[in-house]
Amino acid sequence: MITTIRRVLPALLAPLMLLGFALPSQADVAFKSITSPGGITAGMVEDYMVPIVTIAFAFQGGAAQDPDDKVGLAALMSSLLDEGAGDLASNAFQTRLDDVGLEMGFSANFDSFTGFARMLADQREDATELLALAVNEPRFDQPAIDRMRAQVLAGLASRSQDPGYAAGRMWNEALFGNHPYARPQEGTATSLPGITADDLRQFHKALFARGNLKIGIVGALDEEAAGKMIDAIFGALPAEPQLSEIPPAKLSFGQNVAVDYPLPQTSINLAYPGIRESDPDFFAAYVMSEMLAGDSLLSELNREVREKRGLSYGVSGGLVNLDQADALTIGTSTRPDQSVEAIEVIKATIAKMTEDGPDPAALERTKRYLVGAYPINQLRSSVAIATTMVVQQLLGLPIDYVEERQKQIEAVTGEDIKRVAQRIFSTEPSLLQVGPGAEQAEATTP
């Protein structure tokens, strides 16, 4: 559902944090922009503390590019790029990966197709050659397609028993209507069987190009070596992709979606309009969303819903930014007989923020947390740093964004918070409830 969508290359970041190695503090991470001899730009951090090279990359255009009758195409392709390439079939390719000590992975979200690779510096040439094969010459052999498709279909069959998954599908359809964002990225039991090897080849050819490519590279190599490596991997790709135009999504607010299901608790999700990163109010909205429903148990909604009233184990939320849609989401779970009260408290807390603005001490505490947490979360490993540079490029942010971000957060005032709260929360949210008696509770929801 929309509460799980984050424009931070989520499918790449979450599992790969474990693969990175520790790097120096933020002050020692020197970001720079480089251009390869072939004219490909990238973000780069040189670091020789550990003899490792990590590269992250993204091609703009992801699952939203799937044809209507081939939903799941991008996701299926992401599972196949390391299942054979060039003259190496799947088993031979996997053996070669082990031989050269190369870790790689690929994933797709709505707006981009992402990849990473991590290699030993002294095996960089062999690893680069193997990665280049995966990027340029994936085989899409039928046995591999059948095997990976079967895994996805098995997962879908399992999820069909999960009311949360079904509710999430309903939620996205209610919010996004017939926009591609309403479709399940992993595909459906109807769409996946119709995807062929030719579909995969055509999608790869249309998507993988230098013109929509973003790169971050970190590790034990200099600019000259990095440029040569980038050209070796990506230099033979077409100049420009062949992407379909994805229209802006017109989110539908003011809807109530209720799903009755015999769960121990009722799940509650609210969606309000969001704010784009390029908007002057973005950082005020970012700080405000953290104050209301951020990671800290000291957030306003956690204090009111969890601490004071014991209605939930926690409330979470934040800004959601996709290429063609923006939202602010809030979610929690509670006992079925307490769902109406929980929603009332959430809305009352939001109304107080809108009318009175933030507590000054809480505002300063939140700003300090956001400034301090960024290097811990985004700069703690080679994979995290490389991915962060890719994300910055996808968002059109400058190479020195780390410093600029801190300044923008520190400049947010209480009046800024109050203004942006009035801007966002003047719209009636869409509401999703999943649990026992959810439809009855919907009738009494404020």
Q: What is the pLDDT of residues 197-213, one digit of tens each?
A: 999 999 999 999 999 99
- Compute the average pLDDT of residues 66-74: 97
What residues contact 134, with CB distance under 8 A and at least 6 apart? 81, 82, 85, 93, 104
What is the tens place of the pLDDT at every residue in 233-273? 999 999 999 999 999 999 999 999 888 888 888 999 999 99
- Compute the average pLDDT of residues 4-21: 31
Residue 355 has φ and ψ, to the nearest 5°, of -85, -40
Whether residue 13 is predicted with pLDDT greater than 90 in this model: the reply is no
> Is 408 in the same domain as 288?
yes
Please report the pLDDT score of residue 446 as a whole number. 67
Please report the pLDDT score of residue 166 as a whole number. 84
Quick check: is 381 in a domain?
no
> Is 196 in the same domain as 299?
no
- Compute the average pLDDT of residues 189-200: 98
What is the tens place of the pLDDT at every residue in 118-134? 999 999 999 999 999 99
Quick check: is 8 in a domain?
no
- Asked if residues 322 and 371 have their Cβ atoms less than 8 Å apart, the reply is no
Please report the pLDDT score of residue 442 as a whole number. 64
- Compute the average pLDDT of residues 290-314: 91
Burial level of 300, CB count in 10 A (0-12/13-18/19+)? buried
The H-assigned helical ranges of 160-211 are: 163-176, 197-207
The H-assigned helical ranges of 323-428 are: 339-356, 360-378, 382-394, 401-410, 414-425
| Average pLDDT of the chain, as a whole number | 90
What is the tens place of the pLDDT at every residue in 414-423? 999 999 999 9
Q: What percentage of the chain reaches a pLDDT higher than 90?
A: 80
Instruction: Look at 288 and 440; give whichever has higher pLDDT.
Output: 288
> Is 304 in the same domain as 421?
yes
> Is 199 in the same domain as 269?
no
Please report the pLDDT score of residue 72 as a whole number. 98
Quick check: is 9 in a domain?
no
> Is 111 in the same domain as 187?
yes
> Taking the CA atoms of the chain, what radius of gyration do you get in angstroms?
23
> For the chain, what is the total number of helices (H) and then of strands (E)?
16, 11
Quick check: is 413 in a domain?
yes
Report the alpha-carbon angle 313-319-322, nearest 5. Answer: 130
Please report the pLDDT score of residue 296 as a whole number. 72
Q: How many domains does the chain have?
A: 2
Residues shown for the chain: 446
Range of the domain at 102: 32-234
- What is the distance between the alpha carbons of residues 49 and 172, in angstroms, rounded to a whole number? 45
Whether residue 87 is predicted with pLDDT greater than 50 in this model: the reply is yes
> Is 178 in the same domain as 307?
no
> Is 39 in the same domain as 120?
yes
Whether residue 27 is predicted with pLDDT greater than 50 in this model: the reply is no
